[in-house]
Amino acid sequence: MTYQNPVVPGFYPDPSAIRVGDTYYLVNSSFNYFPGVPLFESHDLVNWTQIGHVLTRPSQLPLGGSNTSGGIYAPTLRYHDGRFYMVTTNVDHNGNFYVYTDDIHGEWSDPIPVEQGGIDPSLYFEGDKTYFMSNGDDDAGNHGITQCEIDIATGKKLTPSKVIWTGAGGRYLEGPHLYKADGRYYLLASEGGTEYGHMMVYARGDAPFGPFVNYAHNPVLTNRNLGGYQIQGTGHADLVDDGHGHWFLIHLAFRQLDRWIQQHTMGRETYLTPVTFDQDGWFTAGDHGTTRATMTAPGLENVQQHSPLVPLSFHNTTIGREWVTLREPDNDRYCFDQTVLAMRPNQALLEETQVSPTALFMRQRAFFSTVQVTVDVPANAAGLTAYMTESQHYDAIVERVGDQVKVARRLRVGPATTLDHVQLLPAGPVTLSLETTNYTYHFFAEAQGKRYDLGEAQAQYLSSELAGNFTGVMLGLFTEQTDAPDADWITFTDFSLTFPKEDDAQ
């Protein structure tokens, strides 16, 4: 079957996937957004449906003070003896831990900490033994892919931490996973940094602690030499099979604004690339070691066509699935009934780095999209945002001024903030809209049948290259407390996110 990449578009990085029976499950990093670790389900590896999040309670996910380079890093999802495990790192609070559940659609346990440090943790089960690995220092101070045996009931170490592999020679060795196939152990990892030099490498051994022999033709997957190609940064993969002899890499990559502009806004996304084993048990991946926008893979012949993105509204979205917050929210400030969203502002602005502003976000999942929402404007301010970080976001903002409503565009890029295209409109509801392309974010306001152009801003200033962060642009609704004496509830209605045309990778 021929399918299109990415299979999960938008800010869904560091994918980890497993197969249980005929169903696949997938998790991603979430950094400083709550709830954490998006959880997807699929029956064909191509079409994925979000079924929730893994970390849904503050006891699982403390995020106070986490910025857009903090919070939850790369998770790993595994299944053993009827139980699902998700292991990850909260880099700002408590380090490495795992949670578990016997019902993938239900609640997960409170965190169980692991004594070994590092980041990008992974689990490997064999018999009654559990192996824990991460990228970091072992007990002797050596750096590399470090592994120990743990008690899965408690997280306690049963053996010393030991470096088992130092990689294939590239910088920033990370994202390790261990597998067993045909009696051999395969150790998969990334090098090059999660940017334009990103690449997948692997080694093979005869025991869980090695020694491991590098694949002679590493990197097995990279787009680092595909100049003039939109998909870049391939890496951080998990290896999964379909139970019928076909293997795949689920991995991250990102799409530049176009084939020549080396900037990306939607973050690192989830891609699917086929794998082929040779007679000697070594494997190759993709199209001559690269990932393409259009790929053909054996084992997917019966898969239905890749489903297009579905238009979203308040009717088919929920808080805690599509809608997320920055850090742990004050739930008393939100009221949502699938037709109307009401929010009551606190003192935190979108620039906040410690607590949660009153704002809801969903991921931008396509270059070409249109967002629209109607705001009933009380004394406080409210708006629509394209948010990358606390210091990089584009907003359309409305505020009541006497018996009128002020509408404006606000651009925050680093230390500079501008407020322009100011319009004073008659009191009453205002409909805000945002039209996105791969190059621009364009805001509009409409009141009493008249539409006002609030201006166009360049996408490149919301790029990860400028932000230096690990997330992607989020489309959000927000409130801000002004000089008004009371934090009034602000009502949002008629929300829609539509996709006027499909993105075409170049």
Measured distance CA(53)–CA(253) in Å, rounded: 22
* pLDDT at residue 505 greater than cutoff 70: no
- pLDDT at residue 485, as a whole number: 57
pLDDT in tens, 21-41: 999 999 999 999 999 999 999
pLDDT tens-digit profile of 411-466?
Answer: 999 999 999 999 999 989 999 999 999 999 999 999 999 999 999 999 999 999 99
**Do 282 and 28 form a contact (C-beta atoms < 8 A)?**
no
- How many angstroms separate the CA atoms of 401 and 380, rounded? 10
Residues 6+ apart with CB under 8 A from 75: 14, 16, 27, 28, 29, 37, 54, 86, 87, 88
Cα separation, 427 vs 412, in Å, equals 27
CATH class held by domain 312-498: mainly beta
pLDDT over 80 (residue 483): no
Q: What percent of the chain has pLDDT over 90?
A: 91
Question: For the structural domain made of 12-225, what CATH number should be given?
Answer: 2.115.10.20
Mean pLDDT of the chain: 95
Model pLDDT for residues 117-144, shown as the tens digit of each residue: 999 999 999 999 999 999 999 999 999 9
CA atoms within 13 A on the CB side of 406: 15
Task: Choose among 198, 477, 445, 442: nearest CA to 323.
Answer: 477
Give the confidence band of 92 by pLDDT, cuts at 50, 70, 90.
very high
> Where exactly are the structural domains of the chain?
12-225, 312-498
For Cα atoms 400, 404, 408, give the angle at the middle one, nearest 5 degrees: 65
Would residue 107 show up in a list of annotated catalytic residues for this protein?
Answer: no
Q: How confident is the model at residue 377 (pLDDT cuts 50, 70, 90)?
A: confident
The tens digit of pLDDT for each residue in 46-76 reads 999 999 999 999 999 999 999 988 999 999 9
> How confident is the model over 340-362, as a mean pLDDT?
95
pLDDT tens per residue, range 70-83: 999 999 999 999 99
Nearest to 120 by CA among 135, 130, 131: 135
Q: What are 234-270's pLDDT values in tens digits?
A: 999 999 999 999 999 999 999 999 999 999 999 999 9
Domains 12-225 and 312-498 alike in fold:
no
DSSP string of 151-195, one letter each residue: -TTT--BSS--EEEE--SS-SS-EEEEEEEETTEEEEEEEES-SS
pLDDT on residue 300: 80
Tell me if residue 174 is catalytic: yes
Catalytic residue among 138, 174, 399, 503: 174
CB-count exposure of residue 458 (10 Å: 0-12, 13-18, 19+): middle
